[in-house]
């Protein structure tokens, strides 16, 4: 028996033309099979590769109730994409995830079940607990991710095992409050969300997930992101 809850998936995209049809198909399949009410909001940031045209095709296939398009003119960043998406969300729960197939929708029912067990405010997908893991990364990338997570744990004590991941389920009002309290941009944004959640006393559950490196396209993590992350971590350490 499915609950009365409705789940909104916020899917920010930038040059995800190849990945979008598959991730949307998997989302539709997952929610249809589990019987939960849902919508997928695609927030495309002016992708030059035609991602928005693909999104329009998907909307025609699956219907405007299920696939909602909220594009923006240019690349404005993840935090503002979520703010933009939430304005149009009709669900009382919000999933955030990547559109590049690194997060598999098959874990969504586990997030929903976990949330219900103790009425969690937030459920995180973790690569660093239980049988979670990372697949397709080279050693350097794994080391960077592990080190980032470890330093965050030591300095900021977030109360969660994976703070840099971006596959999460939030209560809508919780996500709205957290987003508006966050100052970070880019890669650091996800970390700050969890640090603020701890400050506000929100409850956090975790679900082990397998993270798979993107199938098509270029990774968005580079040297400048790492520098931003270091600055951001030190800022949060000083101010929280």
Report yes or no on 177 lying in a domain: yes
pLDDT the model gives residue 19: 92
Handedness of CA 145, 13, 68, 63 (dihedral sign): negative
Count Cβ atoms within 10 A of the Cβ of residue 201 and give its class: 0-12 exposed, 13-18 middle, 19 or more buried.
exposed
Number of domains in the chain: 1
Report yes or no on 1 lying in a domain: no
Whole-number Å distance between alpha carbons of 134 and 208: 11
pLDDT in tens, 110-145: 999 999 999 999 999 998 887 777 776 677 777 777
DSSP β-bridge partners for residue 8: 39, 94
Handedness of CA 2, 3, 6, 12 (dihedral sign): negative
Which CATH number do you get for residue 202? 3.90.550.10
Report yes or no on 216 lying in a domain: yes
pLDDT the model gives residue 68: 98
pLDDT in tens, 169-203: 999 999 999 998 988 776 678 889 999 999 999 99
Report yes or no on 209 lying in a domain: yes
pLDDT tens for the chain, residues 1 to 240: 445 899 999 999 999 999 999 999 999 999 999 999 999 999 999 999 999 999 999 999 999 999 999 999 988 877 888 889 999 999 999 999 999 888 999 999 999 999 999 999 999 999 888 777 777 667 777 777 777 777 777 776 767 878 878 899 999 999 999 998 988 776 678 889 999 999 999 999 999 998 887 555 555 555 666 677 677 777 777 776
Residues spanned by the domain of 198: 6-239
Report yes or no on 113 lying in a domain: yes
- Entry pTM: 0.85
pLDDT the model gives residue 150: 77
Report yes or no on 101 lying in a domain: yes
């Amino acid at each position: 028996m499915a609950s009365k809850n409705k789940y909104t998936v916020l899917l920010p995209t930038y040059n995800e033309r190849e990945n979008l049809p598959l991730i949307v198909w998997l989302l539709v399949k997952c929610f249809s099979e589990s019987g939960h009410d849902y919508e997928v909001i695609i927030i495309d940031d002016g992708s030059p590769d035609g991602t928005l045209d693909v999104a329009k095709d998907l909307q025609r296939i699956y219907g405007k109730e299920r696939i909602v398009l909220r594009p923006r003119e240019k690349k404005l960043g993840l935090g503002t994409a979520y703010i933009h998406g939430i304005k149009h969300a009709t669900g009382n729960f919000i999933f955030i995830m990547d559109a590049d197939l690194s997060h598999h929708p098959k874990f969504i029912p586990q997030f929903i079940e976990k949330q219900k067990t103790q009425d969690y405010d937030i459920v995180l997908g973790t690569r660093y607990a239980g049988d979670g893991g990372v697949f397709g990364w080279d050693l350097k990338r794994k080391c960077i991710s592990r080190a980032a997570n470890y330093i965050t744990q030591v300095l900021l004590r977030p109360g969660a095992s994976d703070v840099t991941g971006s596959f999460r389920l939030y209560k809508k009002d919780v996500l709205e409050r957290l987003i508006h309290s966050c100052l970070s941009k880019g890669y650091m944004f996800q970390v700050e969300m969890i640090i603020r959640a701890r400050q506000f006393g929100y409850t956090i559950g975790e679900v082990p997930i397998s993270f798979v490196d993107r199938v098509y396209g270029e990774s968005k993590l580079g040297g400048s992101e790492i520098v931003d992350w270091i600055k951001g971590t030190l800022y949060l350490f000083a101010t929280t």
